[in-house]
Structure 1
Amino acid sequence: MKEFMDKDFLLETETAKTLYHEHAAPMPIYDYHCHVNPREIAENREFRNIAQAWLGNDTYKWRLLRSNGVAEGCVSSTEVSSREKFQYFAESLPRAIGNPLYHWTHLELKRYFDCDLVLNGENAEKIWDICNERLQSADMRAHGIIRQSNVQVLCTTDDPVSDLKWHKKIKEEGICPAKVLPTFRADPILNIEEEGWDNYMRYELGEVTDMDDISTMQDIRDALLKRLDYFEANGCQIADHALPYMVFAPAKEYELDDVVGKVINGKGSPSKLAMEQYKTAILLFLGREYARRGWVMQLHYSALRDVNSRQFEILGHDSGFDAVDKNNCAPALAKFLDTLDKEGCLPRTIISSLNPGDNAVIASLLPAFTGTEVLGKVQQGAAWWFNNNKAGIESQLRTLASISVLGNTIGAPTDSRSLLSFSRHEYYRRILCNFIGNLVENGEYPADMKVLGKLVEDISYNNACRYFAF
């Protein structure tokens, strides 16, 4: 029986151990998609206790607590003390066998707190004290966590109307050990079907672009150009779009003006077709702009958002009440990519579906849209969100390797709101090395450690550097 999470955790073969310890582990981190608040980095945030660092906005942990019958007042609110919240988490965690949260939690204890104890309700007090004492150290503030995690680049997720003041502060002070860059997240502009879209466009977008009357499709394009220029001036080179499903429904300009005018003037919600036509026009316009500017476009889809309406009314978006959706996005995605490709305007693109059944669809599309400017111009995103577990990562790696070219993939981002989540890169890299190691020891790939070592180093870090070209 193997020891729990020893130095060879998840590494089943000698080849895997060598690849991880000598090649993957030393590589820096290029975190091209995360949800860390840039204010925490700009202010070099200090955490008062481990519950604040772990439970403050981590919906993975919130879902675990709820699944174990913990009342909402002890999950997302401040009705109980931090110590009580931590106790509930410690008592819930042992039931999460097979869940990546169990592994992530103990990786974080090991890497950041030098704690090899297995967290449970009985030793929660001891681990609480160990972690809180460690959090008093300067290297456990935001910059210290980034430094010891060996993060070189960190890309946050930012609203199009953001003034990016925290990014400006980070750059001006120049003391953060990583390059911290904004990502243009156009969802509030895209989501014409959502309540409040009209006010966002009229007041928030209108205010930051000095446009008093946004009422046509061209007005929206003009406003977007101003915000793209602003983000670009502040270092942005990546855009991200979270879609319920991929759309492709071209429309005439007058049709687009009709739907924009109707919704922005409060005369009703768009039909499903009108919504898809609007989103198609915006995505095509932005895709062309990204290509012109040399940006990378990320597309995420098949997340079923806010399925618990009662809790949504109380807590709003991003509170841990989402699920995996199932959509046939292949035809629309292919037409979208093809349209931009025909125009010579297809940007570097990363495609991710929350439904693991889409792995083969995406992997099969990659070789159809290549380019000479970079290896793997169109990428399949790493196993994402609910798929970010051992089985999900292995499945994505296996499908990508079988249908496309694994050696060109840009690895995994953190996709987390927690500064302590950089250990997820270790989790991914261990599974990657084990996958490759098994192929080698099964005689399916030569045991050439020079070639294999470079392959692992590229996937872990180098490919991302080349792909994003920062």
Structure 2
Amino acid sequence: MNSSNFITDNFILQSEVAETLYHKYAKDLPIIDYHNHLSAKQIAEDKPIKNITDAWLEGDHYKWRAMRANGIDESFITGSATSKKEKFLKWAETVPFTIRNPLFHWTHLELKRYFNIDDILQPSTAESIYNRANAILENKTPAQLLEDLKVEVVCTTDDPIDDLKYHIQIAEKNFFTKVFPTFRPDALLSIEKQNFASYINKLSSCVAFSIDNSNDLLKAIEARIAFFDSLGCKLSDYGLEKVFASDFTDAQVDAIFKKRMAGNEISQEEAQVYASCILVKLCEMYHAKGWTQQFHIGALRNNNSRLLNEIGLDAGVDSIGEFPAALAMSNLFNRLNLSNKLAKTITYNLNPSQNEIFATMMGNFQNSDMPGKMQWGSGWWFLDQKDGMEKQLNCLSNMGLLSRFVGMLTDSRSFLSFPRHEYFRRILCNLLAEDVKQGLIPNDTVFLGKMVQDICYNNAVNYFKFN
């Protein structure tokens, strides 16, 4: 395959207006990546990653799925017996077959931005690219890779019982990028899970008091939220099939909690009642702290039990689910709104058939607290590609205010994923320029340029208010 300068300066930009909007207004903005799964440990240790296989393929379920679809043996994907180079060569073998998959664009944007490599990754170029990339990674720490792309803020995803020692270490260093934790309490809601009681015991150790009832649990959660807040945390996050919104009483929830902690099984209805209560209490605590709460909704996880058993969680065997969303979201947000305890909220749907449901739901609860308080988030996971982003931007424009959107995030585990912000910015600028071409919006690049800057950077600064 001939490269012919595939990633040009005007990649995706199809008109002069698009070029002006991107190059003059979007290209050089810093990045605020308010949701990702980067390792704070790797950032704090400040050691070069050294090998592109580690940087690209370690934990990247997007690439794993593509390699499996290409018939690559699992030993070259997640196996421990094959070498890093062998895994990279198998990925290079797969890349030409990813044409029209976002991985083809992401791969070559990353090669260009981090390594100044224009070659198309394929078997004939693989060894050269492997050696050239490794020569650069040999001397690049994660913090330097972040700085190279002007990443101003990253928010990692962290369990409530995490001691955040690496965030504390990072805060003491003079890195260009600020790294803040995000409170991810999924385990607190999962009372039906086998390890729930042991998890609560670990939480008890964190707060140094016994958790014997639901009131103790809420005090422990509040203490952990205060700890996260003291380290600059401004966001929470959930990864749920659907929102919990059952009616409950405190007495009911206390009885269910004690029953489970005593080692007894609980019904599905009891689990829903418990989770609904804890979710409401968490949301109220976030509001009190001025945090933003994020809801990632709709993944059907761990479909392939064979790979789940062999590899573990995040094996790349998750897909889009079809769970009802509207009524539960309405009930939860309405309950919180009635007591004036509805925090800034961002929702993300995985099922594209629910785009309009999510976009219109957020509009129900906007108010004068701040512009765009309730956000429908960017295309997530299977939808963070060109088509998915364009559909999200168009739907948001139709149902809300695109101008108030807080923009893109990577949701990634890779330190090489930040050209995804460039990808989004190019798509946004081209979308607006196409409207100009069709006479649908004014040909005012100064006005549109300010809008682009707001969506790509300024709105996030004003919305999250990181220190």
Contact 2:366–2:372 (8 Å) recurs in 1: yes
Structure-1 residue corresponding to 2:159: 159
Are 2:383 and 1:379 aligned? no
Moved over 2 A (4+): 2-5
Are 2:237 and 1:237 aligned? no
The structure 1 residue matched to 2:207, chosen from 199, 206, 209, is: 209
Contact 2:5–2:118 (8 Å) recurs in 1: no
Distance in 1, matches of 2:112 and 2:81, equals 30
Secondary structure in 2 matching 1:35: coil
Displacement of 1:271 after TM fit? 2.2
How many percent identity over aligned positions? 39
Contact 2:404–2:459 (8 Å) recurs in 1: yes
Secondary structure in 1 matching 2:179: strand
Structure-2 residue corresponding to 1:197: 196
Amino acid at match of 1:196: N
RMSD: 1.2
Secondary structure in 2 matching 1:419: coil
Distance in 2, matches of 1:378 and 1:313, equals 39
Moved more, 429-438 or 365-374: 365-374
Unaligned runs of 5+ in 2: none
Contact 2:245–2:332 (8 Å) recurs in 1: yes
Displacement of 1:195 after TM fit? 2.2
Amino acid at match of 2:206: V
Structure-2 residue corresponding to 1:266: 263
The structure 2 residue matched to 1:252, chosen from 249, 252, 264, is: 249
Secondary structure in 2 matching 1:47: coil
Distance in 2, matches of 1:388 and 1:47, equals 26
Secondary structure in 2 matching 1:180: strand
In the TM superposition, 1:1-400 aligns within 5 A as 4-137=6-139, 140-173=140-173, 175-202=174-201, 204-212=202-210, 214-268=211-265, 270-400=266-396
Secondary structure in 2 matching 1:101: helix
Displacement of 1:373 after TM fit? 2.8
Unaligned runs of 5+ in 1: none
In the TM superposition, 1:370-449 aligns within 5 A as 370-449=366-445
**Structure 2 length-normalised TM:** 0.97
Distance in 2, matches of 1:194 and 1:426, equals 40
Amino acid at match of 1:397: L
Contact 1:247–1:329 (8 Å) recurs in 2: no
Distance in 1, matches of 2:153 and 2:160, equals 21
Displacement of 1:136 after TM fit? 2.6
**Structure 1 length-normalised TM:** 0.96
Distance in 2, matches of 1:58 and 1:236, equals 26
Distance in 2, matches of 1:101 and 1:392, equals 14
Distance in 1, matches of 2:208 and 2:79, equals 38
Distance in 2, matches of 1:190 and 1:211, equals 20
Q: Deviations over 1:7-51 (max 9, x none)?
A: 111111221111111111111100000100101111123122211
Secondary structure in 2 matching 1:417: coil
Secondary structure in 1 matching 2:13: coil
Contact 2:7–2:112 (8 Å) recurs in 1: no
Amino acid at match of 2:11: F
Q: Give the paired residue count.
A: 463
Secondary structure in 2 matching 1:152: strand
Contact 1:154–1:181 (8 Å) recurs in 2: yes
Q: Deviations over 1:180-232 (max 9, x none)?
A: 10100101111122221121112x111101123x2422121111011111111
Structure-2 residue corresponding to 1:466: 462
Amino acid at match of 1:38: A
Moved more, 254-263 or 295-304: 254-263
Displacement of 1:164 after TM fit? 0.4
Contact 2:7–2:118 (8 Å) recurs in 1: no
Secondary structure in 2 matching 1:421: coil
Distance in 2, matches of 1:36 and 1:118, equals 27
Contact 1:151–1:178 (8 Å) recurs in 2: yes
Distance in 1, matches of 2:374 and 2:267, equals 31
Contact 1:23–1:457 (8 Å) recurs in 2: yes
Amino acid at match of 1:145: L
Q: Deviations over 1:326-379 (max 9, x none)?
A: 112101101111111110101000011111111101111222211223210000
Secondary structure in 2 matching 1:338: helix
Secondary structure in 1 matching 2:75: helix
Displacement of 1:427 after TM fit? 0.8
Secondary structure in 2 matching 1:420: coil
Amino acid at match of 1:294: G
Contact 1:34–1:155 (8 Å) recurs in 2: yes
Secondary structure in 2 matching 1:374: coil
Contact 1:106–1:118 (8 Å) recurs in 2: yes
Q: Deviations over 1:52-98 (max 9, x none)?
A: 11111211111111111222222113211111000000001111111
Amino acid at match of 1:165: K
Displacement of 1:3 after TM fit? 6.0
Amino acid at match of 2:244: V
Amino acid at match of 2:176: P
Are 2:447 and 1:451 aligned? yes
Distance in 2, matches of 1:279 and 1:440, equals 48
Contact 1:400–1:406 (8 Å) recurs in 2: yes
Distance in 1, matches of 2:115 and 2:439, equals 40
